[in-house]
Amino acid sequence: MEPNTGKITSLRVEHITKRFPGVLACSDISLSVGEGEVLALVGENGAGKTTLMNILMGLYRPDEGRILINGEETVFRSPGDAFAAGLGMVHQQYMLVANMTVLENIALGYTRAWSPLALDLDMVRARIDEISRKYGLAVDPDAYVWQLSVGEQQRVELVKTLCLGARFLILDEPTSALTPQETDELILLLRKMTRELSIIFISHKLQEVKNLSDKVVILRRGEVVFEGSTADHSSDDIAALMTGREIHLPRNEAPECEGKPALDIRGLKVRSDRGFLAVDGLDLSVCAGEIVGLAGVSGNGQRELAEAINGLREVEEGEILFFGRNIADHSPRDVIDAGMGYIPEERNTEGIVPSFSMKENFILKDAGSPRFSARSFLKLEEIDRNADRLRTEFDIRSPDTDAAAGSLSGGNIQKVILAREISRMPRFLVAVYPTRGLDMGAAEFIHRRLLEKRMEGIGILLISEELEEILDLSDRIAVIFKGRIIGTLDRRTADSRKIGILMAGVRNDEAV
Amino acid sequence: MTKQFKILYRTVLILLAVAAAMLAGALILWTIGADVTKTYSVIIFEPLKNKIQIGEVIIRAIPLTVIALGISVAYRSGIINIGAEGQMAMGIIAATAVALAFPGLPKAVLLPLALTAGAIGGAAWGFIPGLLKAKLHVSELLSTVMLNYIAAQFYTFCLRGPMLDPAEITMGSGTPQSMRLTKAIWLDRLVPGTRIHTGVYIALFLAFTVWLLLWRTSWGYRMRAAGAGERAARYGGIGVAGCLVAAMVISGAFAGLAGAVEVAGVHRRAIEGITGGYGFSGIVVALFGGLHPAGIIPASFFFGLLIVGADMTQRMAGVPANMVLVLQGIIILVIVATRMVLANPYLEDRVRRRYCRLTDRGREE
């Protein structure tokens, strides 16, 4: 069947309502996108953005409401239907096979090049060429996906979606994994692409909403609370509409702290899963009552460092002195008992047991502690009390504490983890990408909590790619590149330009 | 209201699953030319017609319950124990060996000793795959199945060799079985005229214990965490390897104990074929019972019914007993499908709203 190649000149969504167990995910949502328009869909975590997009992509069917493409009502029974109608989505997590080439990855979905026995790779190559030229998206079809940077992989995703016939793009947080430079490039690229097609993109970052979109729709608790032209509103207005209140991300303005070294890492070497030295002779020290921000493009050893500190990864060489005691290669239990708190990178699989209830997740590290069990029997009342208290204190939104943790939204999952780690009264905290993918309201909340802990005299190692987050919170900033600290900056002298240069691996002696 | 609906929803779905399985079974029965209604009525109603038959159903439900409980402990801890058949055989050998070695001991000593030996025999057979999995990441699917073969051969060897009844040698009949064990290890019969024995209490007690262990103790919490999210458990400082080994030891011990109870309660000597597939049916029972003691007990009864019913269809409806195995297979497939449906909260919610609408309208009218 020859796919329809006509332009999508208008996409309208009318009165969409979708209910999930106990939640009204989308309530009477209407929006429309015209030819060449870019619509930004913003809202806090759990506001219903993803649900709405899944309805557009045919993954869910709405309980009420309808979708019109070029004025005609369309019903999507499956993702295939949405695809045939010309809607293409690029997900937050890229759907690429790492050990295949770009060409092969695209051929995977390009069924027109398939015949029962052979795969017409030349046809795929021609198609990639055509799309690349049409939209100005340069990709090397013969590169292996694992060789590409995150930004390049995203471009492959875009090319793939377009090659497969998308005439309308839906992008779910397209910049969440990109460096600042890559983000700028992407925005330019998308701007150019609007000559050929329309775009809906989901984002938390108000700056790019301003830069890219023509129209903005703000969702809160499943409802459209604002719809208007981007040019008429400032980022602050949009942020306030998003959360329903003014947002001010807190800053670390406390006087310099002179605590004793809490964490002192010397000459640390750690291997990655693929066997190379991901952390290669790293030295770093964090004092009590100090936040050290570890900046760097992800994949430069951050994950391995955090895991090694927490006993989850073997240490090849070097020392990790925790209040003077070497904890390198100790078991996770030992490290926890020594007073380490850890907010892991993978919040959905590592930070929580998804099928466990929220209250069960609160005792993940303490099931055997006298507080929650006596002679091995769990103290159910105390567990309930603890959960109720934390849920209120950390404003975790869910019907009750029996809800499966995995069913919560990203922001709420992160709050569950934060609540558990902070309420355990740690002496030190390692926080890895603590606000990745979270909306501003949740990020603000988490930042405040981290600063509070700092004031209580707890040392924090903050690993992040968000320069603003690092600049807002840190007392000192260390930049990691290829497993080593390439430079350390003081809060007063640091700015994003200097950090950016170091992140790229250029040692700037003046800045050190 | 919601809780009430939840129970109703699940019950209806399970009943639908049973109905679907029966329908598929009916088709197969029809193709082999059997009388469908008669076969089903024999399977389901005949075993419940009199005391003796009900007793037979119950004595089959006992080992099924005990084994399924052990399997659910392993399953919840993230390890799939397909080795209950072998673990049960090892339990029978150990219990029989104790009874043969100390025939003079009083009942109060010998019976607990033999049951414990049975549990240890099974536990040892569960420990091996548990350790291999925890330390060397050997798939338990392979190791438990292989250990089943070894246990089966060892069992045969014991019955034909060291444990063979001396009377069989003198009489020259050579049936591979042990001598009748001393009365000191017999479990008492509960209801006169039936074979129901005190193993019922053991099974019920173990069901309660498993529930207590898994949902009320910190050990059970850790084991469930290791099973439900290995990475998160490791992150939380839980010794995942230890949990795996412990779960397999418990699982093996339950299977071994089931074997010992079967010998002490029903056969009173080790004979060939005692395990009779209980180790495999136990897996189905555990899944059918939702890996929860409260579900496993009725599920065991249901499967006990099928086993007894199978025997009777052969006699009364002329349908081979193997047909019941076919039915079992169909039931397994239906269970897997049902579990997927049950795990879909969206569907549940949709049905709930429709149900609410219906009941509301009902009230208005």
Cα of B214 vs its chain's centroid, Å: 18
Amino acid at B202: I
Nearest by CB to B225, from A19, A342, A356: name it: A356
Q: What is the pLDDT of residues A80-125, one digit of tens each?
A: 888 888 888 888 777 888 888 999 888 888 878 788 888 888 888 9
Assigned domain for A151 exists: yes
What pLDDT does B221 receive? 96
What pLDDT does A1 receive? 37
Instruction: Look up the CATH number of the domain holding residue A133.
Output: 3.40.50.300
CB within 8 A of A282, min separation 6: which ones? A265, A267, A268, A269, A301, A305, A318, A480, A483, A484, A485
Size (chain A), residues:
512
Q: Does A312 touch chain B (CB under 8 A)?
A: yes
Q: How far is B219 from chain A (nearest CA, A)?
A: 7
Contacts of B357 in chain A (CB under 8 A): none
Contacts of A342 in chain B (CB under 8 A): 235
Q: What percent of chain B has pLDDT over 90?
A: 58
Domain closes at, from A401, A420, A439: A420
Residue in B with minimal Cα distance to A336:
B237
Q: Under an 8 A CB cutoff, do B229 and A355 touch?
A: yes
Q: Under an 8 A CB cutoff, do B231 and A337 touch?
A: no
pLDDT band at B200 (very low <50, low <70, confident <90, very high): very high
Please give the structure tokens belonging to residue B43. Answer: 């399977």
pLDDT band at B2 (very low <50, low <70, confident <90, very high): low
**A402 shares a domain with A271:** no
Q: Which of A279, A266, A307 is nearest to A432 (CA)?
A: A307
Expressed in angstroms, the distance from the first to the final Cα of chain B is 20
List the single range of A285-289, A319-323, B71-75, B339-343 with lowest mean pLDDT: B339-343
**A109 shares a domain with A65:** yes
Residue in A with minimal Cα distance to B219:
A376
- Give the Cα separation of A203 and A32 in Å (integer): 18
Average pLDDT of the residues in B31-54: 86
**Which neighbouring-strand residues pair with A286?**
A263
Q: Does B357 touch chain A (CB under 8 A)?
A: no
Q: What is the dihedral of CA A400, A404, A407, A409, to 10 degrees?
A: 60
What pLDDT does B213 receive? 96
Residue in B with minimal Cα distance to A308:
B235
B-contacting residues in A 31-70 (Cβ below 8 Å): 60
Assigned domain for A349 exists: no
Contacts of B345 in chain A (CB under 8 A): 20-21, 407
- Give the Cα separation of A457 and B123 in Å (integer): 50
What pLDDT does A512 receive? 41
Q: Which of A512, A508, A335, A346 is nearest to A436 (CA)?
A: A346
Contacts of A331 in chain B (CB under 8 A): 237, 239
**A378 shares a domain with A317:** no
Domains along chain B with CATH numbers: 1-34+322-365 (no CATH), 60-318 (1.10.3470)
pLDDT band at A508 (very low <50, low <70, confident <90, very high): low
Please give the structure tokens belonging to residue B337. Answer: 């499908």
Q: What is the pLDDT of residues A421-476, one digit of tens each?
A: 999 999 999 999 998 777 778 888 999 999 999 999 899 999 988 888 899 999 99
Using DSSP's 3-state secondary structure scheme, residue A243 falls into helix
Average pLDDT of the residues in B306-332: 80
Q: Under an 8 A CB cutoff, do A312 and B222 touch?
A: no
Assigned domain for A4 exists: no
Residue in A with minimal Cα distance to B238:
A333
DSSP state letters, A433-501: STTTT--HHHHHHHHHHHHHHHHTT-EEEEEES-HHHHHHH-SEEEEEETTEEEEEEETTT--HHHHHH
Over the Cα atoms of chain A, what is R_g? 24
Q: Does A352 touch chain B (CB under 8 A)?
A: yes
Which of B75, B77, B221 is best to mutate for the A interface (most A CBs within 10 A)?
B221
Tell me: pLDDT of B285 over 50. yes
Q: What percent of chain A has pLDDT over 70?
A: 95
What pLDDT does A260 receive? 82
Q: Does B346 touch chain A (CB under 8 A)?
A: yes
Tell me: pLDDT of B343 over 80. no
Nearest by CB to B217, from A364, A376, A407: name it: A376
Q: Domain total for chain A? A: 3
Which of B2, B211, B216, B218 is best to mutate for the A interface (most A CBs within 10 A)?
B218
Nearest by CB to B237, from A19, A60, A332: name it: A332
Nearest by CB to A312, from B225, B235, B348: name it: B235
Q: Does B1 touch chain A (CB under 8 A)?
A: no
**A219 shares a domain with A131:** yes
Contacts of B346 in chain A (CB under 8 A): 20-21, 60
Nearest by CB to B225, from A333, A353, A377: name it: A353
Assigned domain for A3 exists: no
Size (chain B), residues:
365
Q: Does B139 touch chain A (CB under 8 A)?
A: no
Tell me: pLDDT of A2 over 50. no
pLDDT band at B1 (very low <50, low <70, confident <90, very high): very low
Nearest by CB to A19, from B218, B222, B349: name it: B349
Higher pLDDT, B319 or A317: A317
What pLDDT does A166 receive? 86
Q: Kind and range of the H or E element at B257?
A: helix B240-262
Q: Under an 8 A CB cutoff, do A350 and B232 touch?
A: yes
Please give the structure tokens belonging to residue A335. Answer: 């490290």
Assigned domain for A344 exists: no
Give the CA angle between residues A84, A85, A90 to the nearest 5°. 80
**A480 shares a domain with A463:** yes
Backbone angle region of B60, left / alpha / beta, with phi > 0 → left and psi within -120 to 50 → alpha = alpha
Average pLDDT of the residues in A26-45: 87
Q: Which of A461, A418, A436 is nearest to A268 (CA)?
A: A461
Q: How far is CA A477 from CA A195, A286, A496, A500, B58, in A?
A: 42, 11, 11, 12, 70
**A152 shares a domain with A229:** yes
**A125 shares a domain with A253:** no
Residue in A with minimal Cα distance to B226:
A353
Tell me: pLDDT of B365 over 50. no
Task: Tell me the average pLDDT of chain B.
Answer: 89
- Give the Cα separation of A60 and A45 in Å (integer): 19
Half-sphere exposure of B208 (CA within 13 A, CB side): 5
Tell me: pLDDT of A296 over 90. no
Cα of A345 vs its chain's centroid, Å: 10
Tell me: pLDDT of B355 over 80. no
What pLDDT does A510 receive? 47
**A239 shares a domain with A131:** yes
Nearest by CB to A349, from B229, B238, B346: name it: B229
Backbone φ and ψ of A245, nearest 5°: -155, 170
**A205 shares a domain with A131:** yes
Using DSSP's 3-state secondary structure scheme, residue A37 falls into coil
**A149 shares a domain with A98:** yes
Contacts of A19 in chain B (CB under 8 A): 349, 353
Domain closes at, from A243, A275, A294: A243
Nearest by CB to B349, from A21, A352, A377: name it: A21
Please give the structure tokens belonging to residue A499. Answer: 């950090």
Nearest by CB to B348, from A21, A353, A365: name it: A21
Q: Does A337 touch chain B (CB under 8 A)?
A: yes
ipTM of the complex: 0.84
pLDDT band at A511 (very low <50, low <70, confident <90, very high): very low
Domain region containing A277: 249-339+426-512
Average pLDDT of the residues in A235-255: 73
Domain closes at, from A214, A243, A272: A243
Q: Which of B132, B134, B233 is nearest to A312 (CA)?
A: B233
Q: Under an 8 A CB cutoff, do B237 and A336 touch?
A: yes
**A59 shares a domain with A111:** yes
Contacts of B216 in chain A (CB under 8 A): 377-378, 380
Q: What is the pLDDT of residues A126-180, one digit of tens each?
A: 989 988 888 878 888 898 888 787 778 888 888 888 888 888 999 988 877 676 6
A250 near A447, Cβ under 8 Å?
yes
Q: Under an 8 A CB cutoff, do A378 and B349 touch?
A: no
What pLDDT does B364 receive? 45
Q: How far is B3 from chain A (nearest CA, A)?
A: 13
Q: Under an 8 A CB cutoff, do B239 and A333 touch?
A: yes
**A362 shares a domain with A217:** no
List the single range of A142-151, A340-349, B98-107, B131-140 with lowest mean pLDDT: A142-151
Q: Under an 8 A CB cutoff, do B228 and A331 touch?
A: no
Q: Which of B37, B29, B52, B64 is nearest to B296 (CA)?
A: B64
Higher pLDDT, B92 or A244: B92
Assigned domain for A50 exists: yes
Contacts of A367 in chain B (CB under 8 A): 218, 221-222, 225, 238
CB within 8 A of A259, min separation 6: which ones? A287, A288, A289, A290, A457, A459
Assigned domain for A2 exists: no
Assigned domain for A5 exists: no
Residue in B with minimal Cα distance to A343:
B235
Task: Tell me the average pLDDT of chain A.
Answer: 86
